[in-house]
Amino acid sequence: MDKKRLMLDTNVIIDTLNNKIDLLAFLDSLGECVVFINPIVAIEVLAKSGMSEHEESLARTLLDSFKWAEIDKNTCETAIQIRRDKNLRLPDALIAASAIVLNATVLSNDSHLRDYQRTGYTALAVISK
């Protein structure tokens, strides 16, 4: 049986780092799965102004615990279609496109990604503490 594939949105990583959600417990509740992040998520998380060295270290450790999706031509073309159809912000379009290409479910606590509808796209909320 294939493992479930999940794509994390930036807000899930930030909420995890801010102790608002217990991502690891949530992932455990889903059973065996492969968890991806898009490089744009790492950029958004690590570009936070005023981040201490300790915070950055924690963030990098968390980010490195997931598989990194590639932004290849197929992902770019899918993101272009999403932006044309829905006009999502570029980071969100790339996250959604990566999920579609990888056949993964997006985990997001933002309604614009959860409410987006397209064949081959699914999204779920991560339950808060």
Average pLDDT, the chain: 92
The structural domain count of the chain equals: 1
Domain span including residue 20: 4-124
For 83, the token pair is: 């932006």
Domain at 50, CATH number: 3.40.50.1010
pLDDT tens digits, residue range 49-105? 999 999 999 999 999 999 999 999 999 999 999 999 887 899 999 999 999 999 999
Domain-embedded: residue 90: yes
Which has more confidence, 127 or 18? 18
- In whole angstroms, what is the distance from residue 122 CA to residue 116 CA? 8
Given a contact cutoff of 8 angstroms between Cβ atoms, the answer to whether 95 and 38 are in contact is yes
Residue 14 confidence (pLDDT) above 70: yes
Query: What's the pTM value of the predicted model, to 2 decimals?
Result: 0.91
Mean pLDDT across 12-25: 94
